[in-house]
Amino acid sequence: EAGVAQSPRYKIIEKRQSVAFWCNPISGHATLYWYQQILGQGPKLLIQFQNNGVVDDSQLPKDRFSAERLKGVDSTLKIQPAKLEDSAVYLCASSLQRGGQDTQYFGPGTRLTVL
Amino acid sequence: QKEVEQDPGPLSVPEGAIVSLNCTYSNSAFQYFMWYRQYSRKGPELLMYTYSSGNKEDGRFTAQVDKSSKYISLFIRDSQPSDSATYLCAMTDTSGSRLTFGEGTQLTVNP
């Protein structure tokens, strides 16, 4: 079974630029999550999709972050414009069903550096 | 006050040692407790999963939950260099709300 795929693996941009990350979840998984993991911290949920609908985006900085999950499969997360404090690893995860208690499978992450 | 507190370490032990990793939490609604292992430059992977209070054992790993003290632990017996990673506790309630993670404890097992 293929795992969660993410690209790119690394990205370096200057502040005020825009950047986009892509995620392909495990086939058949209805729920997709985007997390931000700042160095030395645990992952923080940014947004959760159930199929192609948003379930929880309460911690997403909506003035600069946006995400979509077209057709309930792949997802993209965009930052525009980026700030220095956005430097982090962006993790995508998926689970079979909705619910924090459902096992989440994580991708390798995209490491973003904002200069 | 953070909802979940975890000693960030780092923790360095010799091979074969017993390792104890701990988290405390403040939200009494948490019912599901997990431990994730994260190797360097990888995503977290689920290691142990416990519902409510009690112990759960899987090979060299034992997870304990004490809801009365709002305290969870992960024990690793006969630790191996391959156990060197960051260990993250995570928890949630029964409503299906988001997982809340601890900050992670970085563990190094020296051969």
> What DSSP line would sit under B58-104, residue for residue?
ETTEEEEEETTTTEEEEEESS--GGG-EEEEEEEE-TT----EE---
Amino acid at B13: V
DSSP A101: T
pLDDT at position B94 is 77
Phi/psi region, residue B95 (left: phi>0; alpha: psi -120 to 50; beta: rest), is: alpha
Which of residues 75 through 104 in chain A touch B, CB cutoff 8 A?
A: 91, 93, 98-101, 103-104
CA of B37, closest CA in chain A: separation in Å? Answer: 11
Query: What is the rounded distance in angstroms from the CA atom of residue B62 to the CA atom of residue B41?
Result: 25
Decide if pLDDT at B52 tops 90.
no
Q: Which residue of A has its CA nearest to B92?
A: A100
Average pLDDT over residues B99-110: 95
Is the pLDDT score of A67 beyond 80?
yes
Each residue of B24-44: pLDDT tens digit? 999 999 999 999 999 999 999
Task: Tell which residue, A6, A98, A76, has the closest CA to residue B99.
Answer: A98
Which chain B residue is nearest to residue A43, measuring alpha carbons?
B101
Contact list in B for residue A109 (CB cut-off 8 A) is: 41-43
